[in-house]
Amino acid sequence: MAATPHTVDELTQSAPRARWFATIVNFIRQRPLGAIGATIILVMIAAAITAGFIAPYDPLATDYGAMIAAPSRAHWLGTDAFGRDVLSRILYGSRTALEVGFGAAILGATFGSLIGVGSAYFAGRIDLIVQRVMDVFFAFPVIILALTVVAVLGTGAGNVILAIATPMVPRCARVVRSSALSVREMPYVDAARACGFGHSRIILRHMLPNVMAPILIMATAFLGEAILLEASLSFIGLGVQEPTAAWGLMLRGAAVEFAETAPWMAIFPGLAISLAVFGFNLFGDSLRDALDPRLRTQ
């Protein structure tokens, strides 16, 4: 091993970079479903960013003169039980959804992959202990984790992110660990170790980039899941709280009662959830097809 540290770094980083570029191009060309998914996501992000400009009303402004009004010129998607504009609340709701979605996915994937890679790297007793702890979290009912987080810390977007991300950590860690185990045996990791690099440097700069594919796949899957979970939690009252605009919240209470006579209150937010999750899954699915080394078209 005559390689200098400089070249080892390059070795491990330049190769994936080239691969990345190729896959992105391939992806757009070969995966129409994935492209549709990506479009949905982009539209949603655009809506979230520009909600302040394009929303026709203040999402919190009540209007007792126009309660439960049907879709019309003034209110394209109608109003809810407080006379609040449904369209505006859906637009602002995309902020909440993305905030919670990205927050939880990034949090879950980051901690999960660090634990996974670390566990694989250190191996031996540390690996064993980490695996046991992960087993405990695996066997632990997800709903209890969510309930306790909310009961201890209270409701609100930040805590919802935490509640959703917690059960994601062990799942991500398990997948990433198994990929990292094989990376660990790669010559360049040995080389890096021989050069006397610190643990954190080897983990972060040599191993992590090489297990990026499964991490990305997990993270996109988490995104859709997180949005759905946020909606479910808000629906049962454990998530984001009124008067914040959030999709799951819009489906709660009055929306169900009024489903017969004022279906717009429930249909549009429901569609927004489905469409968003659909988009993330479509994209994630194609991403997996494209990135998973075992599945790459030969």
Partner 1 sequence: MKRFARLLALAASSLLALTAYGQTPRYGGELVFPVPSEPPSYDGHREETFGLIHPIAPFYNTLLRVDPFDRTGTKPAPSLAESWTESKDGKTYTFKLHKGVKFHDGSEMTSKDVKASYDKIIFPPPGVGSTRKGQYADVEKVEAPDPYTVVFHLKHPSASFIASMLSPYNFIYKADILAKDPHWYETHIMGTGPFTFVEHVKGSYVLGKKNPNYWDKGKPYLDGFRAVFMRDSAAQVAAVRGERAQIQFRGFTPKDRDNIKAALGDKITVQESPWDCILYVSINHKKKPFDDPRVRRALTLALDRYEGSKALSQIAIVKEVAGVQVPGTPFATPPEELAKLAGYWHDAEKSRAEAKRLLREADVPDGFSFTFKNRGIPMPYEPLGVWLIDQWRKVGLNVKQEVVEAAAYFGVLRKGDFETAMDFQCGYIVEPDLDMYRFTSASRNPANYGAYEDPVLDALYDKQSQATNVEERKRLVREFEKRALDEQAHVLMTLQWHRIIPHSSKLHGWTITPSHYLNNTLDTVWLSQ
Partner 2 sequence: MGIYILKRLAAMVPTLLGVAVLIFVLLRVIPGDVVEARYLTQGSQFQSQELMDQERHKLGLDQSLWKQFTTWMAGLARLDFGLSMWTGSPITEEIKLRFALSLQLAVMASLLAQVLAIPLGILAAVKQDSWIDYAVRVFSIAGLATPSFWLGILMILTMLIVFHWVPPMVFTPFWVNPWENLAQLIWPALAVGYRYSAVGTRMMRSAMLEVLREDYIRTARAKGLWLKLILTRHALKNAVLPVLTVMSLEFAFLLGGLVVTEQVFNLNGLGMLFVEAISHRDYTLTQALVMLVATFFLFVNFFVDIAYAWIDPRIRYR
Q: What is the binding site for partner 1 (CB under 8 A)?
A: 60, 62, 64, 67-68, 81-82, 150-151, 154-156, 237-238, 241-243, 252-254, 256-258, 260-261
Query: In the window 239-268, what residues touch partner 2 (CB under 8 A)?
Result: 248, 251, 256, 259-260, 266
Angle at 71 between CA 66 and CA 76, to 5 degrees: 100
User: In which residue are the tokens 């209470």 written?
Assistant: 253
Between 23 and 241, whose beta carbon lies closer to partner 1?
241
Kindly state the smallest distance separating residue 248's Cβ from partner 1, in Å: 13
- Token pair for residue 284? 């994630």
Q: Are 80 and 69 in contact (CB under 8 A)?
A: no
Between 64 and 298, whose beta carbon lies closer to partner 2?
298
HSE-up of residue 135 (Cα within 13 Å, Cβ side): 6
Contact between 54 and partner 2 by CB under 8 A: the answer reads no
Which residues share a beta bridge with 179?
Answer: none
Kindly state the smallest distance separating residue 244's Cβ from partner 2, in Å: 18
- Tell me which of 55, 114, 117, 277 binds partner 2, using CB under 8 A: 277
Kindly state the smallest distance separating residue 85's Cβ from partner 1, in Å: 14
Between 130 and 250, whose beta carbon lies closer to partner 1?
250
Q: Which letter does DSSP use for residue 240 in this model?
A: S
Contact between 281 and partner 2 by CB under 8 A: the answer reads yes
DSSP string, 20-64: HHHHHHHHHHH-HHHHHHHHHHHHHHHHHHHHHHH-SS-TT---G
C-alpha 8/C-alpha 195 separation (Å) is 9
C-alpha 70/C-alpha 220 separation (Å) is 36
Kindly state the smallest distance separating residue 293's Cβ from partner 2, in Å: 11
User: Position 131: which residue type?
Assistant: Q
Kindly state the smallest distance separating residue 47's Cβ from partner 1, in Å: 24
The contact pattern for partner 2, residues 119-158, with x = CB under 8 A and - = no contact, is -------------xx-xx-xxxxxxx--xx--xx------
Between 81 and 271, whose beta carbon lies closer to partner 1?
81
Between 1 and 153, whose beta carbon lies closer to partner 1?
153
- Tell me which of 235, 244, 246, 290 binds partner 2, using CB under 8 A: 235
Query: In the window 151-210, what residues touch partner 2 (CB under 8 A)?
Result: 151-152
Q: Which letter does DSSP use for residue 260 in this model?
A: T
Kindly state the smallest distance separating residue 55's Cβ from partner 1, in Å: 18
Kindly tell me the burial class for residue 229, based on how many C-beta atoms sit within 10 Å of its own C-beta (0-12, 13-18, 19 or more).
buried
C-alpha 237/C-alpha 269 separation (Å) is 16
Q: Which of the listed partners (partner 2, partner 1, none) does 127 bind, with a CB threshold of 5 to 8 Å by partner kind?
A: none
3-state class of 238 per DSSP?
coil
Q: How many CB atoms lie under 10 A from the CB of residue 156?
A: 13
212: nearest Cα among 139, 292, 123, 136: 292
C-alpha 142/C-alpha 118 separation (Å) is 24
Between 185 and 260, whose beta carbon lies closer to partner 1?
260
Footprint on this chain of partner 2 (rule: CB under 8 A):
32-33, 132-133, 135-136, 138-144, 147-148, 151-152, 224, 228, 231-232, 235-236, 248, 251, 256, 259-260, 266, 270, 273-278, 281-282, 285, 288-289, 292, 294-295, 298
